[in-house]
Chain A
Amino acid sequence: MLRFLLNRLAKAAVVLGVVVVLNFLLIHAAPGDPATVMAGEAGAADQMFVDQLRKQFGLDRPLHVQLGTYVSHILQGDLGFSFRQQRPVADLLLDRLPATVVLTLSAFTLALAGGIALGLLAAVNVGKWADSAITVVALLSYATPIYWVGLMLVLVFSVNLGWLPAFGYESIGAGHAGLARMGDIARHMILPVATLGLFYMAVYTRMTRASALEVSSMDFVKTARAKGQSEWRIVTRHVLRNAILPVLTVAGVQAGQLIGGSILVETVFAWPGLGRLTFDAVLQRDYQVLLGVFFVTSVLVVAFNIVTDVLYVLVDPRVEIAK
């Protein structure tokens, strides 16, 4: 297990290294050099200021030296400075990270658990009405733009029915504390988590259904049935454990898309996470923040991947033996 983990960590380090280089190249490929961009962001673009910035950030030195400086800064946790917000990018990101992690983790759990359950339910009832209903709903959710689902949910549950808050993280000025505050936050979470979770639930439902159907036709399932095992035991012990494997693989790969989706969902619900920060940075063309978001979301994706890899080993003991 230790060797397996070390192997995964090394892989993660490579991915992050490439992301850092990509970030560096992107900021240099941008129209106008970084000093002009920074001067523009700081709101003063006269030549002397630009030259001063160029010297201060070592932009007059060769490219590979600059890359070295850039990497060493990142290793020290320095992700640059946002002139628009007058704060270090790392601080801005750290402020917003918890809200995004809470949102994406909840949505991920909902999508995975719901998707596997619904997919299995459809596979067990293949050809019957439950299967058709689940398939159609999954097909529709899979085709819907995530931000639009969020807006429509707000329209129904906040504007028309008035059941749930339409935006924010908690009620401002309500003065809730302790358990009441947790409940308040939970109420605010329902719509964003449902919006983000539904789309990916559709993906996992479709995958689980297909893979459960494939597993169901295999010999060991027939054997279990011939031995007279109960249908419930066959589905949970034999079909589910095997059918879940490809779903976990895809879930790990899609973690990146889930986090991308959270940008849209946070924009719709004014959720105070990285997504909101990204939206504001887009409006203000705050490149340093955008590149920081790209780096931090990559870190998140890599972490998600390690978690799903470990889950995979736990569910399927054969994997480790094969390594």
Chain B
Amino acid sequence: MNRDFLHAFARNKGAVLGLAIVGAVILVALAADLLFPASPWEMAGAPFGRPLADGMLMGTDMLGRDIASGVAHGARVSLLIGLASTLAAVAIGVLLGAVAGYYGGRLDDLLMRFTELFQTIPNFVLVVVIVAIFTPSLVSIVVAIALVSWAPLARLVRGEFLSLRSREFVQAAITCGQGDATIIFRQILPNCMSPIIVSASLMVATAILLESSLSFLGLGDPNAMSWGFMVGSARTVLRQAWWMCFFPGFAILLTVLGLNLIGEGLNDAFNPRLRRKRKA
């Protein structure tokens, strides 16, 4: 990364705010055990405790569990699943998109029809079906989210490869006798990293929303405290205790907002021409 890029990113107030939010969430996730040494599943006070009562920042839930502790520990699950499923989806998307764009022709046609299909079918319903059938666990959730998230990225990568394939440096590499794999991964891929990084940062946000929706429906990993689960289980007592739903949901909002802001900041910083045009 060069200095121009860092300058452009740092000048974008939204992006810096996003970075601060996400940085704070990561810190809380890492320090969860230090801040709240007791398990978030354990009773910490009287049930239905209001925020700030009994020294509980965010109050307690119907079983007397500390909401603040749940929010801190829930950050781990959200970030872990967001990152892991994005990495998996990026791997699938880059591979299929690169192959389709590099080889073109019938293979490209076939792969793109396949990709379109995954963009059309109702994503969330498919995730719910997969996780329900294979029983909810961190692994099944990550796999299911990755399976429904790679398609847009594959199309993006394919487009980049299609336009880069005919450039001189690729022709030169072919003339030098480099193999297809070398050209794909060493020559072309490094040249389309910026759009991939931008989409990946937005995909983490979407994955976190998906995971929280699954947990909200009761399809989260039963061994991990998560934000969606907290909102889902507090839903029935919304009238008596707003704070049980409010804080975990607000944590999701902040995290996703931060990631989206970072994604947009990266996009602007990677495309200086676009940025200038927007200001004009």
Contact = CB atoms under 8 A, between A and B. Distances in A.
Interface string A186-230: 000000000000000000000000000100010000000000000
B36 interface: no
Q: Binding site of B, secondary structure by majority: helix, strand, loop or mixed? A: helix
B231 A282 contact: no
B186 interface: no
Contacts of B235: 151, 268
Of residues B117, B205, B219, which shows the largest number of chain A Cβ atoms within 10 Å of its Cβ?
A: B117
A22 to B, nearest CB: 8
Contact of B128 (A147, A290, A302): A290
Interface stretch (B66-74, B187-195, B242-250): B242-250
Interface residues of A, number: 53
A269 B134 CA distance: 28
A317 interface: no
A297 B122 contact: yes
A140 B249 CA distance: 13
Contact of A148 (B130, B135, B252): B252
B280 to A, nearest CB: 8
A191 to B, nearest CB: 13
A159 to B, nearest CB: 5
A260 B122 contact: yes
A69 interface: no
Contact of A31 (B129, B134, B246): B134
A263 B231 contact: no
A235 B212 CA distance: 40
Interface stretch (B1-9, B54-62, B171-179, B253-261): B253-261
A22 B129 CA distance: 11
Contact of B213 (A139, A145, A259): A145
B123 A256 contact: yes
B129 to A, nearest CB: 5
A30 B130 CA distance: 9
Nearest to B205: A143
Contact of A152 (B213, B246, B278): B246
Interface in B188-230: 205, 209, 212-213, 216-219, 228
Contact of A15 (B117, B218, B256): B117
B120 interface: yes
A298 B252 contact: no
B121 A298 contact: yes
Interface in A138-154: 139-140, 142-148, 151-152, 154
A146 B128 contact: no
B57 to A, nearest CB: 19
20 contacts: A15-B120, A15-B121, A139-B260, A139-B261, A143-B257, A145-B212, A145-B231, A145-B256, A147-B213, A147-B231, A148-B231, A155-B242, A256-B122, A260-B123, A263-B124, A264-B217, A278-B125, A281-B132, A283-B218, A290-B133
Interface of A: 14-15, 18-19, 22, 26-27, 29-31, 139-140, 142-148, 151-152, 154-155, 159, 213, 217, 253, 256-257, 259-261, 263-264, 267-268, 278-279, 281-283, 285, 287, 290-291, 293-294, 297-298, 300-302, 305
Given A15-B117, A144-B249, 9 more contacts: A15-B121, A31-B134, A140-B257, A143-B256, A151-B238, A152-B245, A256-B120, A267-B217, A290-B132
